[in-house]
Structure 1
Amino acid sequence: MREKRAPDRPLRWVFRGLFGLVFVYAFNLWWTPPLGWDVWRASNVPGDTIEILGIGRHSATVIFIHGLAGNAAQVVPVVARLRQRLWQVSFLLPSATFLPLTAKGAVDTLAWFDIDNVQLTPDDPLPELEDEEGMEKVITRIHGLIDGEMAKGIEQERIVLVGFSQGCASALLSAISSEAKIAGVACMSGWLPLSYKIKKVGTHVRHPLQTDHAHHMPVFWGHGELDDVVHLRWAEESIAHLADLGFENIDYNIYPYLKHDMGKEEKQDLEDWLAKLLPPT
C-alpha cells in the first residue's frame, strides 16, 4: 500500500507571500502620490502646515491655499509640477480645520470660514453677508506664515500667495490686508469677499481691509467659463472691484469649457506668471 504524502503547505504560503509582495510593489509603481507617501500623509492632517522645499536654494516662498472641503493634498499635484521649474521656491501648504458648515446643515467640514449657501445660480451676485469672524482667523493664520518666512530671511518681495476657490478668497483677503509688500497673489476659481463693504474714502475707493500699498501688487486670476460652483459672474464682479480699488496689474484669464477645477492651460499660465515674478537670484 502506497503511503500518502501531506501537501507541502509551507511552500504554498511562501509563494502566496511572494505574490503579495510583488502585487504591492507593482501597485506602488502604478500609483504613488506626487512627491511621495510622506508628503501625502502630512498633507492630510487637518490644521497642519507642510513645507515642500525647492530643488535649489531657498530664495522665495509660495503659500498655496486649498479649497472648501479639501486639504493640502488637494494642491500637492500642482506644487509637484511647479517646483520642477521654480527651483528656488519653497511651498507652504496649510490645511483647514473642521467647522460646522451652515451650507451643509452644520455638518463638520474642512473649511477656512463658514458659508451659508453653495447652491447658487449663474445670475447670483456676490454675497452681501459673509463670515467675517472666520475670515479674520484665516487672515491671521496666513499673515503668520508670511511673518515666519520673513523671519527666515525671505524678502517680502519674494513671497506669493496662491489660492483655489475658498482658498482664493482667503489668499486674496490676506494679500490685500498684508503689511508686508508681497510679490503678488494668484486667484483661481474664487471671489473677492466683503465686497459689500467697499466704500469711497476721500477721492479713492477702498476695501475695508485694503492697505495703502496693496493696489501695486500683481494679481493673477484664472476662472473656468463653465464654473458651476463659483460662477463666472463672481469673478467678473471681483475683477471690476479690484480695478475700482486701483489695482494696476491684473492678469485675468477665462478658460473655455473649464468647470470648477484647474485645467492644463491654467496651470501653465500660473507657472509662467510665477516664473516671471520669482526669477532665480
Structure 2
Amino acid sequence: MLGKIKWANIYLWFVFILLYLPIFFLIIYSFNAGDVMQGWSGFSWKHYGELFADTRIIEIVVNTFLIAILSSLLASVIGTAGALYIYNLKQPLAKNVLLSLNNVLLVSPDVIIGASFLILFTVLGFSLGFTSVLLSHIAFSIPIVVLMVLPRLQEMNQSLVASAKDLGANNWQMLSRVVLPVISPGILAGFFMAFTYSLDDFAVTFFVTGNGFSTLSVEVYSRARQGVSLEINALSAMMFIVSLLMVIAYYIISTRAEKNKKRGAQLMLAATEGL
C-alpha cells in the first residue's frame, strides 16, 4: 500500500514538473538581457519596459480582457437560464436532446466552430471585429456554464423549494432567494471557466476577427511567425500571474461560500432542534 502511494506521488510530481517547467523556463528568460532565448546574457527588466511601452500590445490586452469579461458575464446569465430550463423540463426525451446538443458543442473542434461562425457572419453580411468575436465567445462559453450549473441544480434539496412555496413565495422570490444562492458556486465556476476559455481561445477568434481588431492569442501567433521575441515571454509571464491570481481568487471565494453554507446549515439545524 505504501509503495503504491509512493509511486503515485512520484508520478504526480513528474506530471507537474513536466507541465510547469516550460512555463518557468519562459518566465525566467523574460528577465534575460539578451534578445533571444539562446544563452543567458544577464538579468534585465528591459523586456517588461518594452512591453509596457508597446501601445498596440496594451490595446490588445484591454480588448482581450474586455471580451473575456463581457462574454463570461453574458454566458453566465444565458447558461444559467438554460440550465434552469433544462432542469425544469418534464419530458425526458426533450431534456436528453438538449443535453446532447449542449455536449456536442463542448466536444466539437474549435476549428469547426470558428469556420461555422465565419460562414454565418459572411452570409449575414456581418462585419468582423469586436462584436463578431464577442458573440462567438458567448456562444462557445454557454455550454460550459450549463455544464457547471446543471449538477448543482440536480444536487439541490427539493424541500427548500417546497418550503418556499408553502410560505407563499412567488417564482421570482424562489429563484432569487432559494435557487440562485444554492447554485451560486456552479455559476461562479462557470464564469471562471468561461473567462479562462475566452482569454486563451485562438482557433475561433482567428476565424472571426478582422478590421484591425485582435486578441492576445492571435497577436502572439502573428508575432511568433516572425520570430519569438522576449517581449512575448514578458507578456506570457504577466498572463500566467493573472491566471494564478484568478485561481487563488476562485479558491478564496469558493471556500468562503462553502463555510457560509455549512454555517447556514448548522443554524437551520439548531433552529429545528429548538422547535
Q: Normalising by structure 1, what TM-score?
A: 0.26
Would you tell me which structure has more strand in proportion to its own residues? 1
Would you tell me which structure has more helix in proportion to its own residues? 2
Q: Normalising by structure 2, what TM-score?
A: 0.26
